[in-house]
Structure 1
Amino acid sequence: MKIQRDSLWVGLFLCISVAANAQNVAGSGKDSYHVRFDFGSGKVEKGFLPVTPVTLYSKVLGYGFLPEASVQAVSRGGKDALKSDFCTSDNPFFFTVDVPEGNYDVQVTLGDSEGESLTTVKAECRRLMIEKVQTQAGHFVTQTFTVNVRNRRIADTSEVKLKPRELSYLHWDNQLTLEFGNTLPKVCALEITHNKEAATVFLAGNSTVVDQDREPWAAWGQMIPAFFKSGRIAIANHAESGESASSFIKERRLEKILSLMKAGDYLFIEFAHNDQKQTGPNIGPFTSYKKDLKYFISETRKRGGSPVLVTSMHRRNFDSTGHIVNTLGNYPEAMRQVAREENVPLIDLNAMSKTLYEAWGPEKSLKAFVHYPAGSFPGQEKELKDNTHFSTYGAYEIAKCIVVGIKAAKLPIAQYLKENIPAFDPAKPDAVETWSLPLSPLVQVIKPDGN
């Protein structure tokens, strides 16, 4: 599990800069942060920090592999210091770096001069950044992606009210943590640069949006980063399991987002599953829920941001004819009303999910949700049957629906989607047999909050 750290990053960066090379870390402030790492046991490229299997994270060092990693170094020899060696493992491994809060461009070089490689890269809590990069012997791939890093502090005066389980998440700290996995991950080099120009797309929502930190749970918010080009967009997923629009405000999660928001940023807002469970005077879809949504919208606009409403996807609940039963009441319609009243772009995920689920049908849809027999995961003594939360396959398909919605709403950020994304029709979902994503090593068989 990630070691919790205090706010000594400034001193740590200075230590790294002095001890290693002034060219490595161009200053200690977040506006100038830039660091480069050369992985492997061979020659070290000038201007890069060496990383070998014994480079374990410590507060003094400020970077390194997390203790759970079982990493080997391979050196092929040769003149190219960066590409003549690499680090690899038979299991996913984590590398973490102390960085201030902000957006970062991460450039990774993958490959092997004498063998094949196949690498998938995730960031923080299993955010999918790079999918299945394959190289043949003697070939290398350098790819860049943009990651948001945050902590719980709000303008040094207050902080987000975190739930106990969040204290072990691989975010909410001044660290950038990367997970390298798949069948043949081979990491040659890594370069991290602070990005001051990227627009930030903040996500506010519940367990269907959150970066689920443990297998086998997943949500669309941790899949959507893989669909955007690097450098222009950073996804900042502030969603959390069990949240309603009102609790998101009370726990200062919205306040945290607003404290970071700049003109040109976005806030995607998806709530309903937990809101509908609230009771009391004036509590309901057309009263308290609409009021909360309008507060999100007005506060976002005050800061020059662009709000986007996302109706909640259905739960997996079929009638006898194979059609989806609406279990969300009037909450999706209330959000549609707010979109019209406030002239806010709407992604109607509720409508798309109905089409998607019915295209799967009752049986095939099981693969999109957390339905696994007993013993599928360590410590799992009972079968998992969850009709709200997604498997990685289901989360990825929902993320594709979000992409469809971004395009349909003609959001300006659509221009920053990757060009090679295949067209997607919720009525024709991808076959689950074609889906593969290596499991992360962290597993939890307890169902997330919310239903």
Structure 2
Amino acid sequence: MRRFALACLTAATAATSLLFAAPTVDLPVSEGNHAVTLTFGAADHATSTTVWGESRQLLLENVTTAPGEFITRNIIVNTRTPALTPPEPHAPGATAVELNPREQGLARWDDRLTLTFAGDAPAALVDLVEDAPATTPALYLLGDSTVTDQQGGDYASWGQMMPRMFDGTIAVANHAESGETMKSFLFTNRLNKVLSTLRAGDTVLIQFGHNDSKSQWPQTYAEPHTTYPAYLRTFIAEIRLRGATPVLVTSPERRNFTADGHIKLTHGDYPQAVREVASAEEVALIDLNRTSITLYEALGPQLAPLAFANSGKDGTHHNAYGAYQLALAIAHGLQAAGLPIADHLAADLPAFDPAHPTLPADFPLTLPDITPVEAPRGN
């Protein structure tokens, strides 16, 4: 076990997030799941700390202590590098995931454990254990820009909010990336990377469709009635072969309102294709497409932009508020499906009703600034 302390910040300096990267204290880590114990509190003043990991994954939200009070929380953080085990001589294969230019240098692909502490008055003592127990279950996320850990500006995804929805006893490995399709996920060795560490008992959420439907991208286009469901079945079969549980997720809708206040459907036959494959393959389904429509229509044309990035100018990608609401939908969907991973949901998991959501004005969470604004790839 290795220990390091984050000095208590006073109210005057708390507005500035403190980026804590393992190499700055000589704490490189191996690829895998790492157990971290955090003790929050200060002897002479109240503290309030939110913890983000790697590329802005929300790990702990607003942990508060009174003066002289100290509380301990445990989390599991997943780290990885692009490296793959080299293939045998004369065998086909690759030695690494093919990262795109926007991924170069990101914390989610390096050999360090990175934590960001924010809040009104953050304070923490951190104990790092090299490796989490081998029995630690993992939740893998496969998808596109609406799932990936968005690094810059006010962009966020439901995937990066998922660790907060759990009780600190599982790892969340978000392999999603902006612009990805099912074909590109295969061709750039991302699925190989997932399969190389996937274990029996893990759970894998699969959400594609935003980019697969782009016929103007002929190299990665997948037709909704033939190749798209075929690729879904391939992913399902590979995951099941390793004893893990696949879960299909339909893509959230874009924010395009009709004149009478309803959401215009833009995903064509892709959500229905996912539903049909889930039914035929007896795979759990989380219908985020329908849930997102209900959510946006409940907010209405005036408030719905407040769930989206670039100050509402982006009609596809979310900000912290929108991403958090969709993450709640995913968490409650896991629970409704009766999946074993739901046993690890946080005791303080907020309730969620897309027809009566928490309003943006009542949502206090803000993203830490790590990199400048960069529109997601595939936008």
Same fold (TM over 0.5): yes
Structure holding more strand per residue: 1
1:412 and 2:377 equivalent? no
Aligned to 1:273: 210
Gap change, CA 1:340 and 1:448, over 3 Å in 2: same
Give the distance between the partners of 1:118 and 1:438, measured in 2 at CA: 14
Instruction: Give the distance between the partners of 1:255 and 1:94, measured in 2 at CA.
Output: 31
Instruction: Quote the residue 2:281 is aligned against.
Output: 342
The code of the aligned residue for 1:370 comes to A
Distance 1:111 1:211 in 2: 28
Cα contact 2:36–2:126 (8 A) shared by 1: no
Q: Once the 2 structures are TM-superposed, how far is the Cα of residue 187 of structure 1 from its aligned partner?
A: 2.2
Give the conservation status (yes or no) of the 8 Å contact 1:216–1:443.
no
What CA distance in whole angstroms lies between the structure 1 residues aligned with 2:250 and 2:240?
Answer: 20
User: What corresponds to 2:248 in structure 1?
Assistant: 309
CA contact (8 A) 2:6 2:123 kept: no
What secondary structure does 2:264 align onto?
coil
Q: Read off the aligned partner of 1:351 and give its amino acid letter.
A: R
- CA distance in structure 1 between the aligned counterparts of 2:313 and 2:39, rounded to whole angstroms: 40
Output the amino acid matched with 1:147. V
| In 2, Cα distance between equivalents of 1:150 and 1:361 | 40
Cα deviation for residue 192 of structure 1 reads 3.1
Between 1:200-209 and 1:156-165, the stretch displaced more is 156-165
Tell me which of 114, 131, 154 is aligned to 1:216.
154
What is the aligned residue count?
362
The structure number with the bigger radius of gyration is 1
Counterpart contact for 1:117–1:185, Cα < 8 Å: yes
Q: Distance in 1 between matches of 2:74 and 2:334?
A: 23
Partner of 1:37: 4
Q: Deviations over 1:172-231 (max 9, x none)?
A: 111110001112112234333411221111110000000001121000000011011112
Q: Match of 1:243?
A: 180
The reply on whether 1:229 has 2:153 as its aligned counterpart is no
1:188–1:419: structure 2 CA closer, same or farther, 3 Å change rule? closer
Whether the aligned pair in 2 keeps the contact of 1:161 and 1:251 (CA below 8 Å) is yes
Contact (CA 8 Å) 1:125, 1:169: kept in 2 or not? Answer: yes
Counterparts of 2:351 and 2:72, CA distance in 1: 26
Q: Aligned partners of 1:319 and 1:350: how far apart in 2? A: 17
Per the normalisation by structure 1, the TM-score is 0.77
Give the AA of the match of 2:290. A
SS in 2 for 1:241: coil
Aligned to 2:18: 93
The amino acid across from 1:330 in the alignment is D
Aligned equivalents of 2:142 and 2:120: distance in 1? 34
TM-score, reference length from structure 2: 0.91
Deviations along 1:86-120, one digit per CA (max 9) or x if unpaired, are: xx855111222211011111111121101111111
C-alpha contact (below 8 Å) 2:152/2:374 kept by paired residues: no
Q: For 1:46-85, what aligned pairs fall within 5 Å after superposition?
A: none
Q: Distance in 2 between matches of 1:364 and 1:39?
A: 38
- Deviation digits for residues 256-278 of structure 1, max 9, x if unmatched? 00011111111110001001103
Question: 2: CA distance between counterparts of 1:278 and 1:222?
Answer: 29
Amino acid aligned to 1:297: I
> Is the CA contact (8 Å cut-off) linking 1:116 and 1:184 kept in structure 2?
yes
Q: Distance in 1 between matches of 2:364 and 2:129?
A: 28
Question: 1:207 and 2:145 equivalent?
Answer: yes
Q: Which has the higher contact order (CA 8 A, sep 6+)?
A: 2
1:21 matched to which residue of 2?
A: none
The answer on 1:110 being equivalent to 2:77 is no
Change (3 A) 1:219 1:400: same
Query: Residue type matched to 2:19 in 1?
Result: F
* SS of equivalent residue, structure 2 residue 128: strand
Give the Cα separation in 2 of the matches to 1:444 and 1:244: 25
- Superposed, 1:245-264 pairs within 5 Å as 245-264=182-201
**Which residue in the other structure is 2:368 paired with?**
440
Of 204-213 and 419-428, more deviation after overlay is shown by 419-428
2:78 is aligned to: 148
Give 2:248's aligned amino acid. L
Structure 2 unaligned runs (5+)?
A: 23-27, 88-94
Q: In 2, distance between residues paired with 1:363 and 1:443?
A: 29
One-letter amino acid of the counterpart of residue 410, structure 1: G
Contact 2:36 2:75 in 1 (8 A): yes
Amino acid of the structure 2 residue aligned with 1:37: F
Q: What value does the CA root-mean-square deviation take over the aligned residues?
A: 1.8
Q: Is the 8 A contact 2:77 2:172 kept in 1?
A: yes
CA contact (8 A) 1:101 1:174 kept: yes
Q: Is the 8 A contact 1:170 1:213 kept in 2?
A: no
Residues 90 and 434 of structure 1, relative CA distance in 2, 3 Å threshold:
closer
